[in-house]
Amino acid sequence: MLKLFDPAAEVDPSVADIVSQQVEQIMDGGGRAKSVLFPDFEDDYGAYKPVGHYAGDPDLESYFRGMTWYGRMHFLLQDPDNPNFNPSRLPLIITLALHRARVDDQSASEAWVELHRILTFVVGPSDDAGPLEYAQLMTQVYGENPTIQDLADQALWQDFLSRSDQLPTPQINSLFMTSTIDSAPAKGWRFMGQRFTLDGMVLQNVVFGRVKEKPDNTRRELPSGLDVMAAWGSSPALQELEKQNITSFPNYTEQMEKMRRAVTEQPEEQWLGRFYDGWLYSFLPVVQAKDSAYPAYMQTSAWGYKDLNAALGSWAELKHDTILYTKIPEMMGGGGPPMSSSAPSYVEPNPQAFYRMAYMARALSCGLQNRATLTICSPGYSGNQSTDAAGYVFGMGVLGDRFETLGNIAAKELAGLPLDEGDNYAITDCLGMTECLNTDTGYSQPDSEMPEVPVVAAVSGAEDKVLEVGVGSVDRIYVAVPLEDKWEIAQGGVFSYYEFIQPRDQRLNDEEWRTSLASGTVELPVWTSNFVLSGGQPKEALFFRTGDIYIITKAGDNLNVRDRPSTTGAVIMQLKTGDYVEIVEGPVRADGYMWWKFNRLSGGTETPGWAVEHQEWYVRSYSPDQPLE
């Protein structure tokens, strides 16, 4: 382990050769293979390839490999595929060593428990027994203070094995073992076991081992993100699974019903008890069918597919950000120049989704503060924002406040109430420290410093392949929305979601995924055709409207302003680069042009006149440093 975390570390010469072979096997990042250090254990060495936020930084890559080893290295108590299997006592030795070793002013076991508690709060409980569970059973068998000689006692060891039914049974299988419909994942020990998640359990229960073969012996080896959203209640997801003939697998429907009940019957306190579960909880109001309480456009089939896509994109982000710890199931305003008024603002009117995100952002902030610094706060507390790591923890509380505000705005929209300036500011202002943080202005952080959107993560495995899910570029969405007794065309961003199969030893990291996207060979899921128009690229366009302020660009220098909307009208003035004008009337189509009446706000006080609309001659005034190119 030391060599994974610190490649320069010295190793005892007596084991240096075998350790070097094991490290080389991990660094190679191949697929399934028996461990050279523990030949009874077959691992997926593709899982050790640093991905997500860990790729690219040598220290983080070492941390990734070391923690992956801690999470995956499994010491079984029994192996149903090997009747001659002899379980190892190494977990007992390590558990005893943790109890005796010291880390600063506490025992190593206490330090381990603190880290374990934080990971449990953020992601979920370990799905395998570990030092905590083994220590409790060891006390029953070996007493409060066992010695290393006690662990060598064969009779006591057999007593320990006979009591192993007291240890928790994993709910998600991550081992390469022969499975049957009724088999349970094998019990064993992991030092820092990967975490149980509800979506992982869903993926585990809709593939072969839980879902039977078809009469032609076809097996469903890998699941889909659609399974997760179908379990969360998405009708479009289930419809797509039906179109793909997935629901025709024997007992798939029964398994899906079990998963749906597991989701719907989970109590709210359990949803809100862990950050990961809270993120999943926010998907429920997103994918549920919208009734007459919502605008008509949100009740359409296309919007249902849009919601499915949005939830899947967010789910891919969740898997990407927790990939090191979650278990992958295996088969088994102010002074200045004049400016235009703000455009109407709008948020998707789904208050419950925003409120649940608000709760979990605050809960994450408080949960980490309570566990790391013993600061007592409640999920409604925002804390103090600063620019160091602690500032980002406090900043999650501030983000929670913004989510709640957006939820309140969404509720106003559903009730048909007008939005005020504070609402418009809350919608259009930057969101979260990553977007807002800037040394000069506090907003407009350079694009080069913003995290890139496309990310990828492996979520399930079977044989020599894995299922990967990814987020692509943010697509633009246009919606006709009811706003203050009239219809407006709203535009915003929506996730693009992908899922595909990769060889185990060719897992993609984020940079490789972005390269693949840029090649143009990656296709969206077929079902996105229900709400995505193929072809075309978004194009920035300047739209004129009465009351807006515009600046004349260099291309529009010496622009003629006439006394009437016609090329035969008399020129009453010329506009210069940098002049500010306000639209007071229009448009009028004449002589093949679109004409607008302008009132000059700078450079003179001439009588208002008419000028031709042209994309390159004007720029909307909305910022004091607006470029005039």
Query: Per-domain residue ranges for the chain?
Result: 2-168, 347-429, 451-530, 549-620
What is the per-residue pLDDT for 387?
45
d(CA 261, CA 202): 11
Residue 400 has pLDDT above 70, yes or no: yes
Ramachandran sector of residue 613 (left: φ over 0; alpha: ψ -120 to 50; beta: rest): beta
Residue 435 pLDDT exceeds 80: no
Q: What local confidence, expressed as pLDDT, does residue 624 receive?
A: 42
Is the separation of the CB atoms in 44 and 465 below 8 Å? no
* pLDDT band (50, 70, 90) for residue 439: very low
Q: Could you read off the pLDDT of 453-479 as tens digits, one per residue?
A: 999 999 999 989 999 999 999 988 989
**Highest mean pLDDT, choosing among 41-50, 161-170, 191-200, 255-264:** 255-264
pTM (2 d.p.): 0.78
CA dihedral 523, 525, 526, 532 (to 10 degrees): -80
At residue 345 the predicted structure's pLDDT band, cuts being 50, 70 and 90, is confident
Contacts of residue 290, Cβ cutoff 8 Å, sequence gap at least 6: 298, 299, 303, 304
> Which pLDDT band holds residue 232 (cuts at 50, 70, 90)?
very high
The rounded distance, in Å, linking the Cα atoms of 236 and 216 is: 28
**pLDDT value for 607:** 73
Q: Let me know the angle formed at the C-alpha of 32 by 29 and 35, rounded to the nearest 5 degrees.
A: 80
In whole angstroms, give the CA distance from residue 564 to residue 571.
Answer: 9
Please, are residues 145 and 99 in contact by the beta-carbon 8 Å criterion? no
Grouping H, G, I as helix, E, B as strand and the rest as coil, residue 34 is: strand
- Of the two residues 80 and 329, the one the predictor is more confident about is 329
Look at residue 445 in the predicted model and tell me its pLDDT.
44
Which pLDDT score is estimated for 94?
93
Q: Are 496 and 525 in contact (CB under 8 A)?
A: no
Strands (E) located in 474-544: 475-483, 486-494, 497-503
Q: Is the pLDDT of residue 483 over 90?
A: no
Mean pLDDT, rounded, for 514-540: 86
Query: Looking at the domain that runs over 549-620, which CATH code has it been given?
Result: 2.30.30
Q: What is the mean pLDDT of the chain?
A: 86
Q: Is the pLDDT of residue 97 over 80?
A: yes
Lowest mean pLDDT among 159-163, 337-341, 436-440, 481-485: 436-440
**Given pLDDT bands bounded at 50, 70 and 90, which one contains residue 348?**
very high
Q: Is the pLDDT of residue 605 over 70?
A: no
- Which residue would you say has higher pLDDT here, 609 or 335? 609
Task: Note whether 418 and 485 are within 8 A (CB).
Answer: no
* Residue 604 reports pLDDT greater than 80: no
The string of DSSP codes covering 69-129 is HHHH--EES--TT-TT----SHHHHHHHHHHH-EETTEEHHHHHHHHHHHHHHHT--BSSB
Q: What confidence tier does 385 reach under pLDDT thresholds 50, 70, 90? A: very low
Q: How confident is the model at residue 202 (pLDDT cuts 50, 70, 90)?
A: very high
Which phi and psi (to 5°) does residue 562 adopt? Answer: -110, 165
Phi, psi of 402 (to 5 degrees): -65, -40
pLDDT score recorded for residue 540: 74
- Mean per-residue pLDDT, 310-339: 81
Both tokens assigned to 437: 């943080």
Q: Any bridge partners for residue 486, and if so which?
A: 483
Rg (CA), the chain: 30
Q: How large is the average pLDDT for residues 576-605?
A: 87
Q: How confident is the model at residue 449 (pLDDT cuts 50, 70, 90)?
A: low
Q: Please compute the mean of the pLDDT values over residues 428-448 and round it to a whole number.
A: 59
Report the candidate in 523, 546, 551, 543 with the shortest Cα–Cα distance to residue 618. Answer: 551
According to the model, what pLDDT value does residue 371 have? 74
Which of the residue ranges 70-79, 115-124, 167-176, 242-251 would you say has the lowest mean pLDDT?
167-176
Which amino acid is located at 399 in the chain?
L
Residue 20 has pLDDT above 60, yes or no: yes
- Identify the pLDDT of residue 104: 87
Strand partners, 211: 208
pLDDT of residue 376: 53
Q: Compute the residue count for the chain.
A: 629
CA atoms within 13 A on the CB side of 235: 9
**Mean pLDDT, rounded, for 256-282:** 93
How confident is the model over 541-564, as a mean pLDDT? 90
- Report how far residue 596's alpha carbon sits from residue 610's, in angstroms, rounded to the nearest whole number: 5
CB 190 within 8 A of CB 74: yes
H or E stretch at 343: none
pLDDT mean over 343-368? 91
Q: Which pLDDT band holds residue 525 (cuts at 50, 70, 90)?
A: very high
